[in-house]
Structure formats: C-alpha cells, structure tokens
Structure 1
Amino acid sequence: MSDLKKEAVSLHTAASGLRALGHHTAKPLHEFKAAAHDLSALGALGSLLGAKGQVQEGMTTLAKLTAQLDEEWQAEAKLMGEVSDAFDLLDVLLAASARAKKG
C-alpha cells in the first residue's frame, strides 16, 4: 500500500470519527440545555445570590459553543474527506503513470 493510500485511509477514518461526534453529543447537549432552565438544585440560595440567571446564561453559552464546535467538526470532516479523495486520485494517477513508463 502506498504512502498516499495510507494517508487517504487515515484521513477518511478521522473524518468519519469527526462526523460521528455530533451523534454522540446530541443527547447530552439536549439534556444540558434542558437543565439550564431547571436549576432547582440551586434552591433559595441561588435565587438570593442572583446566581441562577448567571448559571443559566453560562449554560446557554456553553451549549451554543458546543453547537459551534459541532459545525466546525463537520466542516473539518468534509475537508479531510476531500483531501482523502484527492490522495486516492493522486495515488491512482501516479500508479497509472508508473505503469505507462514501464510499458
């Protein structure tokens, strides 16, 4: 197996892993967003200190950042897939060129 083919396989595997991250984070992210609206665990102390609003805001910000990370991961996976495809094509072209020179 040529080095380009190995790199293509490696990139393809990594891209597949990145694409799957959103599937693994979807449920925990949904639960995290829901928990941001139910902060009863803070009790009266949280309300007295005004912490509830700050905690909700922080949790909402974290959820938005996680969604942005997922978008970035998907874009990165797409790019890695395209590079992998380019390596595959280049490997085929190099092999064809080598055969043409021999024959």
Structure 2
Amino acid sequence: MSDLKKEAESLDKAASALRKVPHHTTKPLHEFKEESNDLGALGKLGALLSATEDIREGMHKLAKLTHELEEEWHAEAKLMGDVSDAFDLLDVLLAAAARGKKG
C-alpha cells in the first residue's frame, strides 16, 4: 500500500471522527443552554444572586463558542475528506503513470 493511500485512509478516518462530534455534543449543549435560562437555584446562595446575569451571559458565550467550534470541526472534516479524496486520485494517477512507463 502506498504512503498516499495510507495518508488518505488516515485523513478519511479523522474526518469521519470529526463529523461525529455533534452527535455527542448536541444534547449536552442543549441542556446547558436550557439551564442558563433557569438560574433560580442561585437565588438560594444570596451572595451569588447578583452574579446571575454574569453567569447567564458566560453560559451563553460558552454555548456560542461550542457551536462555533463544532462548525470549525465540520469544516476541517470536510477539508480532510477532500484531501483524502485527492490523495486517492493522485495515488491512482501515479500508479497509472508508472504502468505507462513500464508498458
């Protein structure tokens, strides 16, 4: 197996793993967003009551950043898949060129 073929398979596996990330983060992220709207339990802590809005804002920012990170991972997975496909094609072309020189 050529090095390009191995690289293509490795990139394809990595891209596949990156595409699966949202399957693991969607539910926890949704629950996290939901909890950021219900911070009543903090009221029992008295001193933290004034920090509720800051905490809510921080949670919203974390949720937004997580979403942006997932989008970046998706874009990287697509790019890795495209590079993997290009390596496969290059491997085929190099093999054909080598056969052409022999024949």
The TM-score bracket by the shorter chain reads over 0.9
Cα deviation, 1:40-70, whole Å, max 9, x if unaligned, reads 23124132xx111010000000000000001
Runs of 4+ in 1 over 4 A off after TM superposition: none
CA distance in 1, matches of 2:84, 2:41: 48
Q: How many aligned positions are there?
A: 101
Q: How does 1:2-41 map to 2 (within 5 A)?
A: 2-41=2-41
Percentage of matched positions with identical amino acids: 68
State the one-letter code of the partner of 1:17. A
User: Which residue is 1:52 aligned to?
Assistant: 52
State the one-letter code of the partner of 1:36. S
TM-score (structure 1 length as normaliser): 0.94
User: Which residue is 1:76 aligned to?
Assistant: 76
Unaligned runs of 5+ in 1: none
Give the alignment's Cα RMSD to 1 decimal.
0.8
SS at match of 1:38: coil
TM-score (structure 2 length as normaliser): 0.94
